Structure 1
Amino acid sequence: MKNIQSGLLQLSELASTVTEMESFYPSLVSLIRSLLSTEDFHICLADADNRLTLTYAHSTGTPAAVSPDCLSRLVFDQGGPLHVNAVGMKQLKKSGKILSFNPACFDWLGVPLKRGREVIGVVALQTYQPGTAFAERDNQLLQFISEHLVTAIDRVNRRELLELSIKQRAGKLIQTNLELQREIAERQKAVKMHQALLAMSEITAGAHEIEVFYQLLHAEIKGLINADNLYIALLSKDKSRLSFPYYVDEFKAASEPRKLAGGLTELVLKRGCPILISSGQIHALTEQNKQQSEPFIYLTAQGRMPESWLAAPLMEQGEIFGVLAIQDYHNKDAYQKPDMELIRFVGQHIATAILRKRDLTKTLEHKAELERLVNERTQELQATNLNLRMQIEERRKAESQLYYDAHHDALTKLANRAMFSDRLTYAIRHLKRHPDYKFSVLFIDLDRFKLINDTLGHHTGDLFLVEIAARLKECVRENDVLARLGGDEFVVLLDAIQSQDDVEDIATRIIERIAQPFDLEGQILHSSASIGISLSRGHYQDADEILRDADAAMYQAKSLGRGRYVFFDESMREQLLASMTLEQELRVAINRQQFELHYQEISNLDCSQVIGFEALLRWQHPEKGLLSPNEFLFMAEETGMILEIENWVIAEVARQLLSWQYSAEYDNAFIAVNLSGKHLTQMNHLSKLIDNIRKNIALPQRLILEFNESAFEQHNEQALKGLRKLKNLGVKLALDDYGAGLSSLNFLYSYPFEIIKLDHSFVRSLKNNEKNLSVIRALHELGQDFGYRLVAEGIENEDTLKKLYAAGCEFGQGYYLNRPAKIARDDSSEDDNKHYA
């Protein structure tokens, strides 16, 4: 930004001080290069007939062309900016708006030059680099440059009009005083000669810059002779090129460095003496002041040739290193032979000055270069220092933000587990130093949060948690620590409490505040909080212990009906330890496959024929012996290990069915397996179950998968889709424990169950409740319409069997018919049937 401001200020100053456009246009090159993304540009001006003429062009690619049908003409006619790329140029040509364009140009930007509302020309940028394009910033900068360009043009025009007016008036005076001046000139010539030579000597001895020196010498020479057009040419070190450090010519702004050729300057270099060319004659002045004359023919003339030309060599110890030349384009008698002596004398002084100035310039250049290097190094050090300070500041901010992020919950902005543990650890240490100090930890779990999150989406769930955090802040004191551990679990460290009543008061306040309705984006929601409370005791060694106890108390509150608080006691610790031990032993049992399957026969109640078996899971505990599912499946369900266990059951049943494939006794028997509803509600687990059955069960119609009603309490639509996928796989589906819960009739006709299994409790109730027999009869009749069969579980006596059969129940199982037992398996057939896997 600083470079842009500096460039624009330099442009403004240049436009306000310009006296000649010849010097203004080249100055634009470096400015445009520093301000814009290209240095390729051209300027066109219109004449009185609105014809555009290329006034100046700077190009690194193909030079710009201006014609009535080009892009510059289009900008001039439209009077507004035009930005077009290569594709746009082709489209403009195709539409007939332009007839030609430069194919090497990739992007083009032009703006009109305006004096008020009048368009006087066009300035345009081009880029010849692939992949580059102008931005809106370039457009704005170019329009700013165009305003100053018009200012410079107007300034030069006014100056030219003034000079023209002066010349016209001076011409009349010159005409009037011509005779008088001629007389005066002859008298003053001798005086001026001596004065000019003295002045030149003083200028040479002065400490002027070389450019000022040239100008002063030029002024003195013009006092002696007609020297409006004067230039100094210098040879390169290898004497192959000429440069022009000073060049004043009425027809040419400047002369570019060039190689040696056959020009007039080279003529002086070749002869090594002053030369006068006038009226077709060439006159030379030798070192012995002898004049030699011969005809001169302009054989290699280029451009406009002068009518009279006078020059002298510049020498250093006899070696020519340059030429001083003056010329007149109008008067062939402008210079005379005596002027060769004058030009020789002047040339000697200029040569001396140039050599002295060259040495001084080298010294100054070395000094300037040293200063530049020092300044650059200083700026680099300053920039490095500034960058380091900025990096330190950014690092400090980043560390501060990282510390905040590491100790706060991103959603609720409350303290997180790490910060809470730090504060709780400090409280425990403080208690050890001050026994009278009391604190308490409240472990808060939100009831129904999972239902809200799953039903209304995570966005509503997040809004709910933010609102919960706000309400909890209202209930605690400023010196308390409120934190979110994750999910819907919050904890509070009640600092410096006086008694247990203080804790109960805050816990009650939290429960009442959470119980109030939530209005989230038009949704009215209700929830409650279960709180476990752990009071400070001296035996606590770290934060995890007291959090664990508060968590255990919270689960006790949930089990007692939710929406309440419970204080932790030691009995809960024993339950917690037992639960943790059971979980760990269960994981070991899975890894070591300590499970086994017992099979209970399912028989036809009419003829007592065995039609299949139900696989019942048992755990062969290394210390406690054989455990039934009631003793460990609740833990498997809670931890999610049930899915891994049941996949093992499917694999074991597959081996059992495979061993029966060639058995005459069980060749048509099926096996029923009771599965968790998690298989139906979690699609990835359903996919694993289907893959397990496909790979291991050769005849899926011999496998019955049983699900109880709890599998459909939530996500019933998703569970129904899962049932249909299993049905398409070819297995049979059974609804287990029917009659133990709500037992909706919806399960009978809307779900693809082929078997309805009556619960043990429902079957046992037949002894004292004859009405349930009517239910069984109704179920039997509905089964004929809906396509399912009834299987009674828990048949323990003959009377119950007869009642069931009389009511229409065809199949049953129970201790009266058969007790569960292991079945020997012949695994020899597995090697012959590996193609089923």
Structure 2
Amino acid sequence: MSVYSLEQDASPLLALVASILAFPPAAQASPAHYRRLFTDLRQWTPLHQIGLLGLSPHGPVWHYEEGLAPGLKAQLGREEPGLSEGLAALDGQQGWCVLPVQDDRIQWLLVQGEPHEQAGLRLLLECLAKRLAEASTHARLTDPASPLFGRDPDWQHKIEQINRILRLANSLPTQALLAQLDGVLQSSLGLHQLHLMRLGPKEASHLYPHPFQGEDGFLRGLCHETNPTEREQDGLYWYSTPLRLQQHYFAHLLLATTRPLGADDRLFLDFLRNQLTLLLELGQIRQQLNDFNSPERLNHRLQLLRQANLRLQKQLRQHQELERKLQFDALHDPLTGLANRSLLMDHLQHAMSHYQRHGGVGFTLIFLDIDHFKQINDELGHGNGDLLLKELGRRLQGCLRQNDLVARLGGDEFVIYLDNSLGEEGAGPVLNRIMARLAYPFRLTGMEQTITVSMGVASVSAQTQEVSELLHQADLAMYRAKRNGRARVVHYSAECAEQAWSSPEEQLTNALAEGRILPYFQPVIRLEDNCLVGLEVMARWVTREGELKDAFDFIPLAEQCGLIEALDHKILHQACQQLRLWLPRADLRKFKLAINLCGQHLASEPAVQALLDIIAAEGVYAGYLIFEFNERELSRQDADIITRLHELRARGIQISLDDFGSGFSSLNSLFHYPVDYVKVDDGFTHRMLHSPKDLALIRAMRDICRDLDLALVVEGIESQAQLHQLIELGCPFGQGRYISPPLPGSDITPLLGPETGLDPD
């Protein structure tokens, strides 16, 4: 508690505190007493909910409540320790003050006021809790004001004089109040001198009279810290008593009389001491309330609130921005920023429902595919292929109208939705703009590349039942355009259907059944000496026409139509079979085969066991294998995946975090998931020579992985300059088309060294 200054004027708040300190014991208090008390409190600050809570063997007992919300009791519960924990959690929230009370009947005092008045309200309620505790133990404040009452009418008059003066504390300055008290005591007790002084650690301060004339050494010698003192000096009888309440020291009251005090006088002095102590206690509470509500403290609290509000607003903006980004990423292609398959299908479903319900002009779909895109990728590299796709997306968007939509389904396949367009006449202007815009060469890292596209067009009709049917028709028309020589537009007709083309989903299902999804292997080397340390397995689709499709052309389709787990199982089978053929070679003693898997394999124990069963069936030691999981996919799984990752590692399989840096919690992933390898997303590799930030991130990842004892693999090395830069950075492992493109197993065999006939295990 801060030291109370008697120089401050008294406040009407003292009357409120006085009524609190005069409150009867809880056992004697009636609802009317509580109502009157809380009515007085409401004159000082608004109160919303009030409750006095006790505990019995049968549960909580509400001895008094006013405005208490019905759900609050259920929220707090009926049993310890949950009840106490609920009360402790409630304290400080939305203006609540919850205080314990040391009373046989009441254990908790709950009051809700205005949040900005909480500090002052808490002080008053502490005073009430203290009062209830004192009253329950029959403390002196519950006794009659003085045992002198009823003994002598003169003493009754003296007591009333003192009480009258003390009641003036609400209107008189402190010095004037003590002066009046001095005058009354001179007539009542024959008082010669009255002093009020406080003993500090090093010096004494005179509270009355102020200023003090004379030496204070004698007065200080009279002041005992805890006990009253009596002494006769130079014909005067001195009485010194410490004023203290609840073991808290305020000051010393010193009186000098010309005659010794009798027994009644001593009782009167004791009464006076109690009343002065109470007055000083009230004054100290008033000062604390004034301190809490001073302009400086209020401004400080307002400043803290403003700072907290600004932090909350910043966090809210960051959360909203992250939420918008997550929503955007869920519905858009990460490379081009165009709508993805999910957003396209949702858009088409709405358009189809509107057409079937209201009719109208209808809409048209254009299925667009780049001619010979794989050849462009092979000749110029995947980095340039990505640049081509992004620029193509921008040009297509520039050809559309306000309500049209362009989406990328995966690889080099795009679908365009044309609103209020039907047939060749409706789609003609947009098709002409597309052909004109794509006639201009594409500039890719200093080179110009001219492309052609094949487009299939299908319009909705009264016979169209499903969106997938219309999309299938546009797809068939596009394949007809390719069969007819590419670089052309074909509108869907019955002739396209006669070709019996199957949908992409059907084609992928057939490819899996016919064994045309094959594993290719890309070497992973130790950069410092070009030593082969492992291979990454990459799925390839060999079409019936002999075209080889990269994984990014059909993996999104496999995920969309629920074939991804079957595809992963197929690749794992074939990779293990190939590995078994390579095992007799001596160079494979520390060899690792990394296999990309979708996060769904970690969704359940049976899914994990299915992977282990494949490895066991092929007779391959699990220690040769690395399972790679995409960082973003892991973040979408449940908390049990950590247990399943540990189970895989216990079997000898190592875990790699793929595409690191492309998610939203990358650094957390390193600590959250049990991993052995970290693969930096190839986007950083492509940009690092021109972006200091990307280069700094790779350098930082090198240091982090070194400190955490993780192996760092850098993907996407497509030029000699990138390779030299990574060697200079000291990155341990790398892979990319500059080192070697993905190769079939037969082309990898010569790189592994001669057969020895030795068991590598």
TM range (shorter): 0.3 to 0.5
TM-score normalised by structure 1 residue count: 0.34
TM-score normalised by structure 2 residue count: 0.37
Name which one, 1 or 2, has greater alpha-carbon Rg: 1
